Amino acid sequence: MAVRQIRIMGDEILTKKCKPVKAMNERTMELIEDMFETMYQANGCGLAAPQVGVLKQIVTIDVDDGNQYVLINPEITAADGSQTGYEGCLSLPGKSGIVTRPNYVKVKALNENMEPYELEGEGLLARAICHECAHLEGRMYVELVEGELVDTAADEEEITE
């Protein structure tokens, strides 16, 4: 496993649509492992393959609910309710903004064994699913920000000092 470089907003790859994964192979399995390691190293709760420079429909999520989620070729099939709160992105470090997302989503996807499954999520998991699936379409959360982006680096400095 290896930590990969996270692409930063402005990198053209973050604006491109990703291709479906047709079969699991050693390189794709290594990519998934690297995505988890990269996500944890950056203190994130989700990561999409284009964020590490790979145009494949793969998402990794860990929202501290005791599970690691791999979503291959995900498709959101249901959404309900709403939640509004601050959201950030590993591809735009030091910034966050207020975004409204569904409070509940259901997604169908393939797991790392290419087996179909459905995942339902509420709260942070629903937010992470929506955020990461948008990356696969070449979209970033900044398109949904209500008001201005805020600098979170100052908050982090206050906490650490």
CA dihedral 122, 98, 46, 109 (to 10 degrees): 50
Q: Which domain holds residue 15?
A: 10-149
89 among the known binding-site residues? yes
pLDDT at 1: 77
Mean pLDDT across 122-140: 98
Please provide the distance, in angstroms rounded to a whole number, between the alpha carbons at the two ends of the chain.
33
Is residue 154 one of the residues assigned to a domain? Answer: no
Is residue 24 one of the residues assigned to a domain? Answer: yes
Number of H helices, E strands in the chain: 3, 8
Is residue 83 one of the residues assigned to a domain? Answer: yes
Is residue 4 one of the residues assigned to a domain? Answer: no
131 among the known binding-site residues? yes
Is residue 160 one of the residues assigned to a domain? Answer: no
Q: What are the backbone angles phi and psi of residue 94, rounded to the nearest 5°?
A: 80, 5
pLDDT at 152: 87
Contacts of 76 (CB under 8 A, 6+ apart): 105, 106, 107, 129, 130, 133
Domain count, the chain: 1
135 among the known binding-site residues? yes
- pTM for this entry: 0.93
Is residue 137 one of the residues assigned to a domain? Answer: yes
Q: Which two tokens stand for residue 14?
A: 């973050």
Is residue 2 one of the residues assigned to a domain? Answer: no
Which residues are catalytic, by number?
132
Mean pLDDT across 12-41: 97
pLDDT at 157: 43
Is residue 158 one of the residues assigned to a domain? Answer: no
Question: pLDDT tens, 74-122?
Answer: 999 999 999 999 999 999 999 999 999 999 999 999 999 999 999 999 9
Q: Which two tokens stand for residue 57?
A: 């429909």
CATH number at 101 reads: 3.90.45.10
